[in-house]
Amino acid sequence: MTPLSIIYKLGHKLNLSKAITNTAPIPVICVGNITAGGSGKTPSIIALHKLIEKHKIYNAPYFLSRGYGGSEKSPRRISVHDDANETGDEPLLLASHSNTIISARRYDGAMLAYNMGADIVLMDDGFQNQSLYKDLSFIVINGKTGLGNGKMIPAGPLRESVEDALKRANAVIIIGDDESDIKTIIPKNIPVFKAYIKPSNIDKIDRDAPYIAFAGLAHPQKFHDTLLENNINIASFHEFSDHHKFSPKEIDRLIKEAKDNGSKLITTEKDYMRIPDKYREFIEYFPIELVWKNEADILQLLRGLSK
């Protein structure tokens, strides 16, 4: 796959060189990654939004997403009650926290947010997309999986070379223990913020009941391990592909399995957003949140942006 990786790298560099960048009238924070698959972008951007609101750094922060996995292409403000088939699952999760815009063209989405009263945009993903100028770009890296084998797609997980990515990054977020010593390859002038994921408000989870768990993530095993770490009794576990669109037949089969075995159903909050409304009463989700290890430092960076 290495020759194909070289072609991918050349294509990416060509796209960057030809990109026309537009600047929005309000600041744009990008939270992205350099690996394919889940790294923790969504909990990271939600945590940044909470900091901005809590400390009143900006008055009207909006989320912006391209709506990956959804059919909608035009700029649109969404609500948590929209259909994931139209909006994608991650935007619905963002919309459960704050105002959220989806747009295939990120500049158009930023302008819609601005026209609706936003004074800052937090863009979920889009680090490799240069169509919208970013005032602050975060790269999110999972401390456990790191950068994989260090090769580009398809020979490895990298969307671009680490060297190229770090030239455009303003900061790095490492989630969990840095098992691959990622921090040693990051230039000294780029701040590194450490964070970890923890359960949030899981008192409603029945610790005595067996659960049939399922997840459609890039790394579903991470969800399985999280449940075990929190002493959730797993009767069985079902893996699906990332952003999997659950069919009624699949959900009916899971509900039947739970009923036959005297178990409950549990999934991730992101997967829950893809479950049709009529099935949600039969399924619980496991809420998580990102917690900063150096909140004061990241606050300083955000406050510097507002000056």
User: If residue 106 lies in a helix (H) or strand (E), which one and from where to where?
Assistant: helix 106-115
Collect all residues with Cβ–Cβ distance below 8 Å to 152 and sequence separation of at least 6: 5, 8, 9, 158, 159, 160, 161
Where b means 16+ CB within 10 Å and e means fewer, 60-88 reads: bbbbbbbbebbebeebbbbeeebebebbb
Mean pLDDT by groups of 10 residues along the chain of 307 residues: 65 68 97 88 96 97 94 95 92 96 97 98 94 97 90 88 94 95 94 94 86 92 92 95 92 97 96 93 95 95 85
Domains of the chain from N-terminus onward: 2-197+290-305 (3.40.50.300), 201-286 (3.40.50.2300)
Structure token digits, residue 8: 């991918």
Class of residue 258 by CB neighbours under 10 A (exposed 0-12, middle 13-18, buried 19+) = buried
What's the pLDDT score for residue 218?
A: 82
Q: Give the span between the Cα atoms of 101 and 84, in whole angstroms.
A: 14
CB atoms within 10 A of CB 218: 16
pTM of the model: 0.91
User: What is the structure's pLDDT at 14?
Assistant: 64
